[in-house]
Amino acid sequence: MPPKALAGAYLLFASTSGVENSSVESSSYSLLHAGLEPLLSPKEVTAYETIEDVFEKFQIYCHGRWLGVQVLQSPNDLLYIQNVLTEVRPDVVIEAGTYKGGLTVYIASVLEALKGLESEDWDPMVITIDRNDPSQVFDREWFCPVCQECIKAWQTPLWHRRVHFVQGYSDQVDVLMEVEDMLRSKQGTVQSSGRNITVLITLDASHEAEGVLTELLMYSPLVSTDSYIIVQDARLDRLWKKPAVFAATAAFLQFTSDFYWDRTVPIYGSTQHMYLRRVSSSHLGSLQSSWISSSDDGRMERFQRLLESPPYVDSSDMVFLEEVYSLQSPFSGTTDSPVIVLGGECSCCGRK
């Protein structure tokens, strides 16, 4: 993403942050399947939306279980996520927002099952990020009543085989750098096979518009072509009656042609999430996090300030952002064979 578009996305969010409640409830916020919605009457659309709104409003998702672990997802979206994982076959799934680890275990179990169908050199992993270790929040009732009889995700053998937990805030540069290091290491493990790793991302940490937009800007360059970003809980805009997950994602999509909102994913009609598919790698710039963190002149602090306060980007900030974001793609090679370049040298060819 060119820096002017990056700043433009910030400014667009600033200009839309005062959207009236009525616009949040409009059909433009529909999460229905693209092929189904035109076939429905207004009453049928309302019926679909009401079911999903009730599911969220009354926390029906709290009753979800997968292999004995509590999973806070709709059954439809669990199937959609499985379909996406099966299609993409990612080497790495990056999950922002672990909480108690339910979706983490679900994703890991799908990857484990898929491994049984793949060649021996495919060894998928989940990198999951949260400010709290899941063991610290098992007894918390932040979203749902505590399920004392539920299996603790982080204690399962599956977790130890497939999951790498990173403690910290997903929108912090040092956390992003740690994730980048893991991706470089993973790329090294498959180097002998002559292929490049495939990365898929799911965002379920922040649900405020600023936080979601920040995560999209920071992590989208890591996604492989033909893979996805799953932006979770986009229905919250309707429930909260204010711009939130959906609004931030819509702003992001206006400033890049690398991704499109794939509304064919929810095959059962509706969803809680937005599934963004990457179709190109020619527009997004690569975050030069190593350039920021290695400096001693306050660059990291300034970058964090801009991420935390996007409406206040001024002309001097524009110059700064032009230095932080390179105009070259973080990928090299053909669109179906991306090579990750995360600052410094390319792990495959040494190109800077």
Domains contained in the chain, CATH given: 3-340 (3.40.50.150)
Say what the pLDDT of residue 17 is: 40
Mean per-residue pLDDT, 133-162: 90
Measured from the Cβ of residue 54, the count of other Cβ atoms closer than 10 Å reads 10
Task: Report which of residues 194 and 40 the model is more confident about.
Answer: 40
Alpha carbon distance 174, 158 (integer Å) = 27
C-beta of residue 183 within 8 angstroms of C-beta of residue 221: no
- pLDDT tens digits, one per residue of 104-126: 999 999 999 999 887 677 899 99
Alpha carbon distance 274, 13 (integer Å) = 18
Question: CA nearest 97: which of 211, 227, 257?
Answer: 211
- pLDDT tens digits, one per residue of 202-234: 999 999 988 898 899 899 999 999 999 999 999
Say what the pLDDT of residue 82 is: 97
Alpha carbon distance 113, 135 (integer Å) = 25
Say what the pLDDT of residue 2 is: 36
Task: Report which of residues 291 and 262 the model is more confident about.
Answer: 262
C-beta of residue 94 within 8 angstroms of C-beta of residue 129: yes
Predicted confidence (pLDDT) at residue 313 exceeds the cutoff of 50:
no
- pLDDT tens digits, one per residue of 169-188: 999 989 999 999 999 999 99
Question: CA nearest 19: which of 250, 286, 321?
Answer: 250
The token duo for 335 is 């669109």
The token duo for 181 is 């290091």
Say what the pLDDT of residue 320 is: 54
C-beta of residue 260 within 8 angstroms of C-beta of residue 226: no
Task: State the DSSP code for 167.
Answer: E
Task: State the DSSP code for 285.
Answer: P
Say what the pLDDT of residue 340 is: 23
CA–CA distances in Å: residue 258 to residues 80, 329, 346 = 22, 11, 21
Predicted confidence (pLDDT) at residue 272 exceeds the cutoff of 70:
yes
C-beta of residue 134 within 8 angstroms of C-beta of residue 146: no
CB within 8 A of 250, min separation 6: which ones? none
Alpha carbon distance 56, 51 (integer Å) = 9
